[in-house]
Chains A and B, each alone.
Chain A
Amino acid sequence: MKYFFSVVFFFCLISWGNAQCYLKVQGSITDPDTHEMLSGADIEIIDINKKTISDSLGNFLLEGLCPGVYDLRIKHLNCNPLTLHIHLKDDFKETIQLTHYYNTLEQVTVNADIQKAGASAAAQISGKELDQTRGLSLGEALKKIAGVSNLQTGTNIYKPVINGLHSSRVLIINNGIRQEGQQWGSEHAPEIDPNIANRLTVIKGAASIRYGGDAIGGVVLVEPKMLSRLPGISGELNTALFSNNRMGVLSGILEGNFKHISPLSWRVQGTIKRGGDAKTPNYWLENSGIAEYNFSATAGWLKSNWGSELFFSSFDTELGIFTGSHIGNTTDLINAINSGKPPDYIADATFSYNLDRPKQRVKHYLFKSNSFIQTGNAGKLNLILATQYNSRQEYDLKKFASSTDAPQLDLRISTYTGEVVWDHHSWNGIRGSMGVSTMYQDNWYQYRLFIPQYQALNAGLFIIEKWNIGKLALEAAARYDRKNIYSIFANDGTTYPDKNFDGFSGNLGVIYAVQTNHRLTANISTGWRAPNINELYSDGLHHGAARLEKGKADLQPERANSFIAGYQYSGKKWQIESEIFYKQIDDFIYLKPTYPPQLTIRGAFPAFEFDQADARLYGGDISLSVQTGDHINLKLKSTLLWAWNISDKDWLIQMPPNTHEVAVEYIFTDAGKWKQPYCKIEFTYTEKQNRVPGTGNIEIKQTDGSLSLESDYAPPPAAYGLTSFEAGTSIQTKDRPINLIVAVNNIFNTVYRNYMNAFRYYADEMGTNVSLRLKIPFAIHKHI
């Protein structure tokens, strides 16, 4: 830190020491792949707020500059913004290459390009919005996107839910690679450090085909920043502190490029997260702490006609599971629900950082290589290889103090993926990608059986093409996948039949740009998902949910046919973003209640078997933003969903309730070093979920002593409204701006329970939480 400040000080001296302010910075902007000159690019010297736009030949000129150190930022539609750090001693002239998303080494951005100018329904968070989520888990951060909610287990486990679908129906692409862990489990959070990303994208439509036809809920892209192409070393420190569970998160990035070996760039990144017990308005949640240690390293070699990148990441987390949620049988669960709060000996606990049983220990390693060669002027050929290893250990309370320390559940899965993709540049106005992808998996377990050992082989072929004609853009994608699951056995010697599935997915999208800031989109798609190993062969007690779940070996793939239409308008005063969707899922796989309950030594448990039914999901979201005057911004947002089981003529269980948000933001005038200060009050209202199945297989004793069969142990919790406050600012320093955000969630310490939280039976949600976020970018301009 001392070194960092002295470096800052040193550069301050340089920039103050001169006064010949007649230098100029000029150049031209080109696309290195298409060799096009880019007109209309924004060129800005951030430090002194000097701006210009490149002309029709891609040239630009900025004059009257003093010698000094500047950050020159260049932005162009569909391009990765570039920041050049320049030491201006004399006039500066350079041809600047600005890569389009689809030309970059990050193959994930292929889709970012398609979605941005394309017809797929997609939304993203980056920049300031992403800064506001620092310190949160991936699932929580994604909640900022319309249509995305969370499936929660306590205060540490958040799974993204896209328009009501989650787990194996939502693909998460971590730095271009399909995240492969045990994602089928509702209490298995994504094993990804969101601090790796500088952009999170949710794709609900077509572009998802690039990653697999099984993403019938949607795709989440976790994309890191491109490697720095500028000589020198720079970095960023992010800290987030939370009052409620006394959690601290520290994350840092250090990256650089060598002046004398200019093709070589590198980055290292790491995150430490440590939190203790969370507090509801009335009691602590004993044993709800977290400890997480993540790091990643990237090295890339980029030449104009070929490049290669290696990426390694390690994710390691230990999550406490609230003691009061651990129950032995249905009697314990009913007692917990009826008492309305955890038993005194748990509710009376005081704050602690201890992580005891029950807990989860999850590790995920990813190693990836990514290379490309330009194939003449026609396009680019990419080879992507990855191996990932996931280990998940779940520790229940011990039966006896003398019991071994081993976990009850121990699952390990290794995944190897390989992809060859050819991106071709514009040919008669058509551009796109085509490729082959393969995946091999090996799953292993010990101790308790929940899913068996197995191996799986997947192979897919895909093509995505996009055609621009005037105000119209068309996009079409097709994919064929095969999936084989074999060598399936349990450790007691039981074997299970092999499974083979195959099928097509396809998509057609159209976008009509009425004006550049005003567009209509429509998208139809068909996709399929093979039954998961747990849906086929699981057989056992789902502890937290107090029910027995049994797979069904003859399940067939489910097929989703969807239609999404969107309307976007972004004017000076008004901004509208809206989307409606309709999704018909044939043979939707779900847990069907069976009756009577199954008898065990711990009493009778309600039993569920995986089964298939036709389902229909529809809904939409709308967000509206009005600017009144120069300072006040009013935002309204609503998310609606209906999920219907057509075969059973009843609602589908565990679907997110409708939510509505109102926010008022006040943006202050810059004051000295304080840039863009703002404050915001937000009110979120979550409706009670009334769309739940009318009957089920769970015996509930009514007050008159009679038994009724319900679909759930407890009715959905009441509606609730939460108020939060946030204030932030950029603080100009001589180097780069420091960002500061203070937020208060659940200001009024409202007591509520969330229908989408598996622990709604046991405890209230977190009370007031004050957080402080600080982002400190820095640069060490040491040329090596």
Chain B
Amino acid sequence: MKHSVLKATAAFFVGSILLNSCKKDDPQPVNEEELITTLVVSLKDVATGFTSTFIFKDPDGEGGNGPTQFDEINMEAGKEYDCTLSVLNESVSPAEDITEEIMEEDVDHQFYFTPSGSSASVTTTDIDAVGLPVGLESNWDAGAAGTGTMKITLKHKPGEKAAGDTIAVGETDIEITFTTNVN
């Protein structure tokens, strides 16, 4: 009898080992791929060619520490700017440029610009493969002097992007409301 109990116990432990031998590998990279940590807004003064950049940066992503850099956008009243957006993942080293991926899949992505108060009126200048706006490139007309905001939203809408989409379509990947100072 004792013999059988021993056998059963031995069988049990062999089973346990088999059950658990099929698990752990070394942990994969710390963060999920394509974490978006940083948005860089570059405004080139069309008249002078001078470029300023304004940055939002939260290197450890959502949760944990708050953003480490959140600039205010400065413009001059009545001036025209060429805007270029750049999206980065700075949680990895070297930083990953996510702008390229947005360009490659521009038929699924769209930036929206929502000004409020003293800000700029924005016209998207780039188009995707089927002729719909993308927003990585845009033209900003600064308004009258004062302060206001510019909300920049990146929408991901795989298979759903269509002409005249409202901002409500799709899932929000970026939503940053910059304070604007028009001097």
A-to-B contact residues, CB < 8 Å: 301, 303, 306, 308, 310, 312, 326-329, 331-332, 335, 339, 343, 345, 365, 367, 369, 371, 373, 385, 387, 389, 391, 397, 399-404, 406, 408, 410, 412, 414, 416, 444-449, 453, 490-492, 539-541, 548-550, 598-603, 605
| Stretch from B72-80, B100-108, B131-139 contacting the other chain | B100-108
Given A401-B105, A600-B62, A602-B172, also A449-B30 (CB < 8 A) = yes
Specify which chain B residues have a CB less than 8 angstroms from the CB of A550 in the assembled complex: 63
Specify which chain A residues have a CB less than 8 angstroms from the CB of B63 in the assembled complex: 539-541, 548-550, 598, 600
Asked whether B48 is an interface residue with its Cβ less than 8 Å from the other chain, the reply is: no
CB under 8 Å from chain A, chain B span 22-71:
23-24, 27-34, 36-39, 56, 58, 61-64, 66-67, 70
Specify which chain A residues have a CB less than 8 angstroms from the CB of B38 in the assembled complex: 601
Specify which chain B residues have a CB less than 8 angstroms from the CB of A345 in the assembled complex: 160, 169
CA distance A369 to B9 in the complex (A): 8
Q: Find out whether the CB atom of B19 lies under 8 angstroms from the CB atom of A402.
A: no
* Number of A-B residue pairs having CB atoms within 8 Å of each other in the complex: 153
Specify which chain B residues have a CB less than 8 angstroms from the CB of A449 in the assembled complex: 30-31
CA distance A332 to B174 in the complex (A): 11
CA distance A541 to B31 in the complex (A): 13
Q: Find out whether the CB atom of B32 lies under 8 angstroms from the CB atom of A408.
A: yes
CA distance A514 to B50 in the complex (A): 94
Asked whether B130 is an interface residue with its Cβ less than 8 Å from the other chain, the reply is: no
Q: How far apart are A48's CB and chain B's nearest CB, in angstroms?
A: 41
Q: List 22 A-B contacts (CB under 8 A).
A: A310-B15, A327-B172, A328-B171, A328-B175, A332-B171, A365-B19, A371-B9, A385-B9, A402-B101, A404-B33, A414-B20, A445-B27, A491-B27, A540-B64, A541-B62, A548-B62, A601-B39, A601-B56, A601-B176, A602-B172, A602-B175, A605-B62
Q: How far apart are B86's CB and chain A's nearest CB, in angstroms?
A: 13
Specify which chain B residues have a CB less than 8 angstroms from the CB of A453 in the assembled complex: 27
Given A399-B156, A404-B33, A444-B24, also A329-B12 (CB < 8 A) = no
Asked whether B173 is an interface residue with its Cβ less than 8 Å from the other chain, the reply is: yes
Specify which chain A residues have a CB less than 8 angstroms from the CB of B156 in the assembled complex: 328, 397, 399
CA distance A400 to B103 in the complex (A): 11
Q: Find out whether the CB atom of B11 lies under 8 angstroms from the CB atom of A310.
A: yes
Q: Find out whether the CB atom of B16 lies under 8 angstroms from the CB atom of A416.
A: yes
> A-side binding surface: helix, strand, loop or mixed?
strand
Specify which chain A residues have a CB less than 8 angstroms from the CB of B171 in the assembled complex: 326-328, 332, 397
Interface size of B as a range: 35 or more
B-to-A contact residues, CB < 8 Å: 1, 4-5, 8-9, 11-12, 15-16, 19-20, 23-24, 27-34, 36-39, 56, 58, 61-64, 66-67, 70, 101-102, 104-105, 108, 153, 156, 158, 160, 168-169, 171-177
Q: Find out whether the CB atom of B36 lies under 8 angstroms from the CB atom of A601.
A: yes
CA distance A601 to B39 in the complex (A): 8
Which of the residues B28, B30, B67, B105 comes within 8 Å of A599, measured between beta carbons? B67
**Can you add 6 more A-B contacts, CB < 8 Å, to A444-B23, A603-B172?**
A387-B19, A399-B156, A404-B33, A444-B24, A600-B62, A601-B67
Specify which chain B residues have a CB less than 8 angstroms from the CB of A539 in the assembled complex: 63-64
Given A310-B8, A406-B33, also A329-B105 (CB < 8 A) = no
Specify which chain A residues have a CB less than 8 angstroms from the CB of B30 in the assembled complex: 449, 490-492
Identify the closest chain A residue to B171 (Cβ): A328
Specify which chain A residues have a CB less than 8 angstroms from the CB of B70 in the assembled complex: 599
Specify which chain A residues have a CB less than 8 angstroms from the CB of B56 in the assembled complex: 601
Report which residue of B9, B32, B34 has the largest number of chain A beta carbons within 10 angstroms of its beta carbon. B32
Q: Find out whether the CB atom of B20 lies under 8 angstroms from the CB atom of A389.
A: yes
Identify the closest chain A residue to B108 (Cβ): A401
Identify the closest chain A residue to B102 (Cβ): A400
Q: Find out whether the CB atom of B27 lies under 8 angstroms from the CB atom of A400.
A: no
CA distance A406 to B28 in the complex (A): 10
Specify which chain B residues have a CB less than 8 angstroms from the CB of A490 in the assembled complex: 30
Given A367-B15, A404-B33, also A329-B67 (CB < 8 A) = no
Q: Find out whether the CB atom of A312 lies under 8 angstroms from the CB atom of B15.
A: yes
Identify the closest chain B residue to A335 (Cβ): B168
Given A389-B23, A402-B104, A408-B32, also A367-B175 (CB < 8 A) = no
Specify which chain A residues have a CB less than 8 angstroms from the CB of B27 in the assembled complex: 444-446, 453, 491
Specify which chain B residues have a CB less than 8 angstroms from the CB of A399 in the assembled complex: 33-34, 36, 101, 156, 173
